[in-house]
Structure 1
Amino acid sequence: MKYENLAKNIMTNIGGKENVNSLTHCITRLRFKLKDESKANTEVIKNLDGVVSVVRSGGQYQVVIGNNVSEVYKDVVKLYNFTIDKEPEKNEELKENVSLFNKFIDIISSVFTPVLGVIAATGMIKGLNALFLALGLLTQTSGTYQMLNIVGDCCFYFFPVLLGYTSANKFGLNKFMGIAIGGSLVYPSISGLMAGNPLYTLFEGTIIQSPVYLTFLGIPVILMNYASSVVPVIIATYLGAKIEKLFKRIIPEVVANFTVPFFTLLVTIPLTFILIGPIATWASQLLGVGTLSLYKLSPVIAGVLIGAFWQVFVIFGLHWGIIPIAFNNLSTNGFDAILALMFGASFAQIGVVLAIMFKSKNRKLKSLCMSSFISGIFGVTEPAIYGITLPRKKPFILSCVAGAVGGGILGFANSFVYMIGGLGIFGIPSFISPKEGITTGFYGMIIAMLVSFVLGFILMFFTKVEDE
């Protein structure tokens, strides 16, 4: 209970437990859904020792803590007996009027936040494996390479299973039903069926030409590779939640324990393969082609814009609207440019912070700069943004300028990420192609990272520091 006092102060000023509908946390923030945000004393919470800032975004009241957020979260849960993994959609009080965009951001953040840590970890292992291969330390036939590849691929290959769980938690479906829906999409026999001769072909001669390998009750089933996919399982789980609620209303409780899952899966999974999966996959492919086409219009301009505004997106939680596109690009194209273009932004931020640390005479500010710089090296920049640069405005603007230059370099070098890796320096191996090894895009990333950092430092070093 190291953060007992901070937990009590936050909960007191947020309006008490009775004002909280749900509570989760991400890498740096406690994410509350409040019944009435007007009851929260935001200015008091912002000034609590241990709180970096408060952000309202996507229908959430977010208290930015920093690196110790998981410990603060645990103390809040213990003190106030919160139920972890609460299913907020079952709470009638959450049916408030919020915009469609906020609902979208809320859904995406709720579905992706719980899995980002393990996806980043396995991505880092996959990236290191690609690095070892590129340096000649391992060969593709070696046992070590094969084992590391299994560890690196396990989560992303079975991504629908992970998202089935988190989506079910968000939409109020039984979590194991969500796992079952996700598991059906990566069922091993599907690839075996697709290796045979098709019965016939649908939509022949069009861009959605599809061979049919099996039928269900006479209805053609278009089989696709759903490994690593994102959109189909989220939509399928949402549908499953609606179907489950319908059967719960009409089936007597005495037999509901096994008959509700029976009928829910019997309806949801065939519908997913017959209708949802193909349509969602075609939409995903179009989205992948569309984003790549926009990128190809001018990679440099795309890099400048994303590099400049990425930190702004993070502040308002808007990056959650972009991350699914990146996941989709990785599953459909095998690479992604969006997450690559923002790579220099965090290094621009810590370059500015390091300059402030050298110039400032305020001991407390110097100490805050040091801790923020260290966390920023590993890609966690919220302490730097909320605690140092954003309140002083000019430093934040300068970091955006340096990030824009880095993004432009990344675009010019055609730098891509080939996996979801770690943040900050742990993201470097993500730029190594598993097929081509170290390319010019990788060297472009190194140059962009260094330029963003050095430019951020220089711009801030010749700008006046506000020590207060």
Structure 2
Amino acid sequence: MSDRSGPGTAPRPEDTARALLPLVGGAANVTSVANCISRLRLGLADRSRVRDADVRALPGVLGVVEDDTYQVVVGPQAVNAVAAAFGRLVEEKGGGETGQAGQTDTAEELAERGAAIRAANKRRNATPFKLFLRRIANIFVPLIPALIACGIIAGVTGLLRNLGWMEGALPALTAISSGFMSLITVFVGMNAAKEFGGTPVLGGAVAAIIPFAGVADVQVFGTALSPGQGGVLGALGAAVLCAYVERRVRRHMPGTLDVLLTPTIAVLVAGLATVFGLMLAAGALSEAIGAGADWLLGTAGAFAGLVLGGLFLPLVMLGLHQALIPIHTTLIDLEGYTTLLPILSMAGAGQVGAALAVYRRLRHDAGIRATVRSALPAGLLGVGEPLIYGVTLPLGRPFITACAGGAVGGAFVGLMGQLWATTGSTAIGPSGWALFPLVQGSAGIGPAVAVYGGGLVVGYIAGFVLTALFGFPKGAVQAAEAVEEAVAPGSTPG
């Protein structure tokens, strides 16, 4: 049975932080503290000082993920408070605690060991594909809050327009919701240039060519360009090229001329390449992505939904889902919504159903049931990590049946898109119930909401039934319950 903490109140964030610090090598071993939606992300000088087994067993910790940082999964409800408390402890203790008795390394020795370990970890994780995904995430993830905000406002605006309400306010709401999307290429360009070692504002400058209305006066191979042609993919290519040219020019430019000529040459070269090549190529690629998505969901919607919904949880675990961000953004730019996100969201529905089945079947495992209760609200809102690392993945089979439940839900959404109405999201980021304000589709908001809601219900049911039937080894639950009952107070051993 699980060794998770039993029923009762969750540990206080301060207690979790205080218990965690010595397990990761003490304050002297911590080089940075940050957090995302559910993980505490720690930069460590010496990875060998971490006591992994003790970290994983710590009450309040749902799992550990290793990447370029050491990531401790504590869940969305606790992560901000734990990160703040942990950061305060590191500042208070400074470099005086090593976390292991008898070690008195100097700062220089610790820095040397940390540098060597970081270099080894970097070599191990620096495959071209992992680096590509990390860079894609660094470029697009910072844009997600604005995409969510503008997407929700756009959805509300569309609903008001359909109902004929507040017509005087609609132009203002439209401007608020559309302004960011009209200039998203500039933000992509700035982030891309920064990520590839260039000056952010120069990347934004060449990316700004794409939405500029004046490109309609430019003839390329006898055809006029269209403002926005190439979209975020064109902006990405333009900014990366600009950063490359800037770095190369700066190496050979005398210092007295660098401030004048380097940015000028970089913008000119990358700008000409954007106007006379990248906009055409990226525009063709964007149109191919849109046509491919329409064809896939229009002709093989159920099968496509089955595959996408079933594979998304493993993609999230491996970090491969970041590669889909440019595709989502391109579809939103082309069609106003991405049809892939509602299908992928069904993976979370399958996991919620699987967790409910685990809760029902393991009724004598107080630790697992407490974890399900605490993680389920986040799962319903589309934050799946607490359920992944706290419930389904540690149990093994329930993770597989959760993926199968997501596949069934994805197949339902895909089939409805094929037979009735496609369903999409006007922004990326949320899923689960949190996606409802962003839902849009080919037949309007009403059918889209109905299809998406129906998919969630199907995913919940499929995940629950498949886990109840196939999520546990035959006889294992009954044997575990018999042991629990045999040692329970008041029972009579036989």
Task: Note whether the superposition's TM-score is higher than 0.5.
Answer: yes
Closer, same or farther in 2 for the Cα pair 1:149/1:397, shift >3 Å? Answer: same
Q: Percent identity?
A: 25
Q: How is 1:63-142 mapped onto 2 (pairs within 5 angstroms)?
A: 63-67=72-76, 68-70=78-80, 79=90, 96=123, 98-134=126-162, 136=163, 138=165, 142=167
- Correspondent of 2:190 among 131, 148, 165: 165
Closer, same or farther in 2 for the Cα pair 1:334/1:147, shift >3 Å? Answer: same
- Correspondent of 1:262 among 247, 261, 264: 264
Q: How is 1:150-299 mapped onto 2 (pairs within 5 angstroms)?
A: 150-187=175-212, 189-190=213-214, 194=216, 202=221, 211-212=223-224, 222-226=225-229, 229-299=231-301
| Match in the other structure for 2:436 | 428
Q: Distance in 2 between matches of 1:125 and 1:75?
A: 35
Q: Distance in 2 between matches of 1:125 and 1:351?
A: 31
Contact 2:211 2:227 in 1 (8 A): no
Contact 2:352 2:379 in 1 (8 A): yes
Q: How is 1:1-20 mapped onto 2 (pairs within 5 angstroms)?
A: 2=14, 5=18, 8-9=21-22, 12=25, 16=29
Q: What TM-score, normalized by structure 2, do the two folds share?
A: 0.74
How far off its partner does 1:40 sit?
5.9
Q: How is 1:319-398 mapped onto 2 (pairs within 5 angstroms)?
A: 319-359=321-361, 360-398=363-401
| Match in the other structure for 2:104 | none
Q: After alignment, is 32-41 or 176-185 more displaced?
A: 32-41
Closer, same or farther in 2 for the Cα pair 1:238/1:315, shift >3 Å? Answer: same
Contact 1:232 1:281 in 2 (8 A): yes
SS, match of residue 223 in structure 2: strand
Contact 1:130 1:432 in 2 (8 A): no
How far off its partner does 1:45 sit?
4.0
How far off its partner does 1:266 sit?
2.7
Per-residue displacement from partner, 1:121-163 (whole Å, max 9, x unpaired)?
22122223333334x1536xx1333333233223322211221
SS, match of residue 111 in structure 1: helix
- Residue 445 (1) aligns with residue 452 (2): yes
Contact 1:349 1:396 in 2 (8 A): yes
Larger radius of gyration: 2
Structure 1 residue identity aligned to 2:291: V
| Match in the other structure for 1:416 | 423
Q: Distance in 2 between matches of 1:240 and 1:24?
A: 31
Per-residue displacement from partner, 1:310-353 (whole Å, max 9, x unpaired)?
11111111111223222222223444332121232212222222
Q: After alignment, is 402-411 or 249-258 more displaced?
A: 249-258
Contact 1:35 1:94 in 2 (8 A): no
How far off its partner does 1:406 sit?
0.9
Q: Distance in 2 between matches of 1:238 and 1:276?
A: 12
Structure 2 residue identity aligned to 1:446: G
Unaligned runs of 5+ in 1: 82-90, 203-209, 213-221
Q: Distance in 1 between matches of 2:407 and 2:355?
A: 17
Q: Distance in 2 between matches of 1:426 and 1:17?
A: 35
Closer, same or farther in 2 for the Cα pair 1:269/1:7, shift >3 Å? Answer: farther
More helix by share: 2
How far off its partner does 1:75 sit?
6.4
| Match in the other structure for 2:62 | 52
Contact 2:29 2:44 in 1 (8 A): no
Unaligned runs of 5+ in 2: 1-12, 95-117, 485-494
Structure 1 residue identity aligned to 2:165: L
CA RMSD of aligned residues (A): 3.6
| Match in the other structure for 1:86 | none
| Match in the other structure for 1:300 | 302
How far off its partner does 1:31 sit?
5.6
Per-residue displacement from partner, 1:360-398 (whole Å, max 9, x unpaired)?
344443332122111112111110111111111222222
Q: Distance in 2 between matches of 1:256 and 1:48?
A: 54
Q: Distance in 2 between matches of 1:92 and 1:251?
A: 31
Q: Distance in 2 between matches of 1:154 and 1:16?
A: 45
Structure 1 residue identity aligned to 2:368: L
How far off its partner does 1:461 sit?
5.1
SS, match of residue 186 in structure 1: coil
Contact 2:229 2:280 in 1 (8 A): no
Q: What TM-score, normalized by structure 1, do the two folds share?
A: 0.78
Q: Distance in 1 between matches of 2:44 and 2:271?
A: 35
Q: Distance in 1 between matches of 2:171 and 2:257?
A: 47
Contact 1:7 1:72 in 2 (8 A): no
Contact 1:353 1:388 in 2 (8 A): yes
Q: Distance in 2 between matches of 1:76 and 1:261?
A: 42
Structure 2 residue identity aligned to 1:238: V
Closer, same or farther in 2 for the Cα pair 1:46/1:334, shift >3 Å? Answer: same
Would you say how many aligned residue pairs link Structure 1 and Structure 2?
428
Q: Distance in 1 between matches of 2:146 and 2:211?
A: 19
Q: Distance in 2 between matches of 1:94 and 1:386?
A: 23
